[in-house]
Structure 1
Amino acid sequence: MSQAKYAFTPPPVQSLPIRGTDARFPINRLFFVGRNYYAHSVEMGNPVDKATSRPFYFTKAPSTLTESGATVAYPPGTKNFHYEMELVVAIGAPGFRVAEADAEKLIYGYACGLDMTRRDLQLVAREAGRPWDLGKDVEQSSVASEIVPKGELGVVSQGALTLVVNGQTKQSSDVSLLIWSIPEIIADLSQFYHLQPGDLIYTGTPEGVGAVNPGDRLSGRIEGIGEISLLIGQPE
């Protein structure tokens, strides 16, 4: 078969470094779990009752992926650009309609993540019953640290999570407070998608989300996983 000819150079494959190797983790899709910490759901004005609810998700384009340590320009169209610190699960094996007991088999590893959000645009869309794309699918808004292979970590079910902005702690919680655990998320999401190697699942953020401004420095940490950092640049 002859090599395909493109009208322009295709974009590069998005990827993240993997701790302990010079190989990189190629990215397929980016999934995000909404309101997966109770205190954050209250903070956003929509308390979650697990007994009567199931997880909900949104996606972002893989092109929004940005490595930890980057400088990200303050995006256009917003006056309320928010941080959301999250544990990220990296999928390393395919799975469809996976049982919770088998969810660990799909996990390649973990990372620290930031879901940066144009909050004002998200809330306008939410109140109007419209998609969240302008608020969430923001260029350079899916920040992630290096991937930590699962190894002896197994299924992560606890670990302190913190985010600091300009030296002040803004988010402080623990992964043990997830409403839906990692196996529950993988099992539920796999009812709707054929999960594939390279998929990332941002598992949700705790309370304490807030706005950033140009010049702000963000640094986060998840116990046992790693650290993440970001500098907010000037608007373009």
Structure 2
Amino acid sequence: MERVVDWQAPLLPVAGGGVFPVRSVWCVGRNYAEHAREMGVDPERSAPVFFSKPAQALVMADRIDYPPDTADLHHEVELAVFLRAGGRNLSPAQAKASVFGYAVGVDLTRRDVQARAKATGQPWEMSKGFDQSGPVGLLVSEKDWKPDAQARIGLLVDGEQRQSGRLGEMLWPVPELLAALSRTVTLGPGDAVFTGTPAGVAALEPGQRVRARIEGLPELDFTLVAG
């Protein structure tokens, strides 16, 4: 039978060798209290807000195109979690056992597109799911690195510190977050989950260099170029 579509899942390199084929990309908003507050939400009253990006949005590159249809592109540094297994209605322990590894990620957001959609009650997927909207650093196996509450997470733009926090400031730690997500969708091998961002999100311009860091993981370093 003739193949109608020739497509391959994005393959992300893994430290020490091998690749990770991406199936789905899930993201959560408002998982750090100060970021929730800067977005105008009371973190004590909000449940996890999940959304998705296409798998092709994940890229590992030192040059990222500034996207079209925006004049207000924002950075959001995040811990990205990659799954070897999954299921529905997982317990936190089962979710933790499903993790393959971790990487530094940046959720790029067309904030003006998002604001216009929210103002009119329309879906805002296109503010999050555009080309190259999910840069990630080199993946590290969970055997070699695990989240620590004291590990620092941060992002610099042209050497200026924009975001800074600790992983322990997450409202929903990784196992609890994955368990909550599994009550909404069936998780599976190849899934990537962006776990939220600390406060300090701000606009980016073409030509700026972004350096995203989480203690113990390979740094994510890229420059925005005019598209």
TM-score past 0.5 threshold: yes
Q: 1:158 to 1:93 in 2, by over 3 A?
A: farther
1:34/1:204 contact within 8 Å kept: yes
TM score, norm. by length of structure 1: 0.91
Q: Secondary structure at the match of 2:219?
A: strand
Q: Which amino acid aligns with 1:6?
A: R
Q: What is aligned with 2:104? A: 112
Q: Give the match's secondary structure for 1:129.
A: coil
Confirm or deny that 1:26 pairs with 2:21: yes
Q: Which runs of 4+ in 1 moved over 6 A?
A: none
Q: Secondary structure at the match of 1:151?
A: coil
Higher mean Cα deviation, 37-46 or 127-136? 127-136
Q: Which residue of 1 aligns with 2:2?
A: 5
2-structure distance, mates of 1:17, 1:25: 6
Native 8 Å contact 2:110 2:128 kept in 1: yes
Confirm or deny that 1:92 pairs with 2:88: no
Q: Contact (CA 8 Å) 1:31, 1:58: kept in 2 or not?
A: yes
Counterpart of 2:31 in structure 1 is: 36
Give the aligned partner of residue 133 of structure 1.
125
**Which of residues 159, 184, 196 in structure 2 aligns to 1:192?**
184
TM-score (normalizing by structure 2): 0.95
The aligned counterpart of 1:211 is 203
Residues 1:75 and 2:67 aligned together = yes
Select 1:161's aligned residue among 138, 141, 153: 153
For the 8 Å contact 1:166–1:217, the answer to whether it is kept is yes
Q: Distance in 2 between matches of 1:30 and 1:225?
A: 20
- CA drift of 1:7 comes to 4.1
Q: Please give the secondary structure, in 1, of the residue aligned with 2:122.
A: coil
Quote the Cα distance in structure 2 between the aligned partners of 1:35 and 1:85: 13
Q: How far 1:68 sits from its partner (Å)?
A: 4.2
Is the 1:96–1:195 contact (alpha carbons within 8 Å) kept by the matching residues of 2? yes
Q: Which amino acid aligns with 2:13?
A: P
Per the alignment, residue 165 of structure 2 pairs with 173
User: Percent sequence identity over matched residues?
Assistant: 36
Measure the CA separation in 1 of the matches of 2:184 and 2:107: 22
Aligned length, in residue pairs = 227
Partner of 2:13: 17
Equivalent residues of 1:157, 1:176 under 8 A apart: yes
Is this contact kept in 2: 1:80–1:120, CA < 8 A? Answer: yes
- Give 5+ residue unaligned stretches, structure 1: none
For structure 2, which runs of at least 5 residues remain unmatched after alignment?
none
Q: CA deviation at 1:154?
A: 4.3
Please say if residues 16 and 145 of structure 1, whose CA atoms lie closer than 8 Å, have aligned partners that are also in contact.
no
Matching residue within 57, 75, 81 for 1:64: 57
Query: How big is the alpha-carbon RMSD for the aligned residues of Structure 1 and Structure 2?
Result: 1.5
Change (3 A) 1:129 1:48: farther
AA aligned opposite 1:17: P
**Could you tell me how far 1:171 is from its partner in structure 2?**
0.6
- Give deviations 1:173-207, integer Å, cap 9, x for gaps: 11110011101111111112221111000000111
Select 2:174's aligned residue among 169, 177, 182. 182
Distance in 1, Cα, partners of 2:223 & 2:12? 18
How far 1:13 sits from its partner (Å)? 2.0
Shift of 1:129: 2.0
Structure 2 distance, partners of 1:88, 1:217, is 20
Deviations 1:95-133 (A, max 9, x none): 221111322111111000000010001111122222111
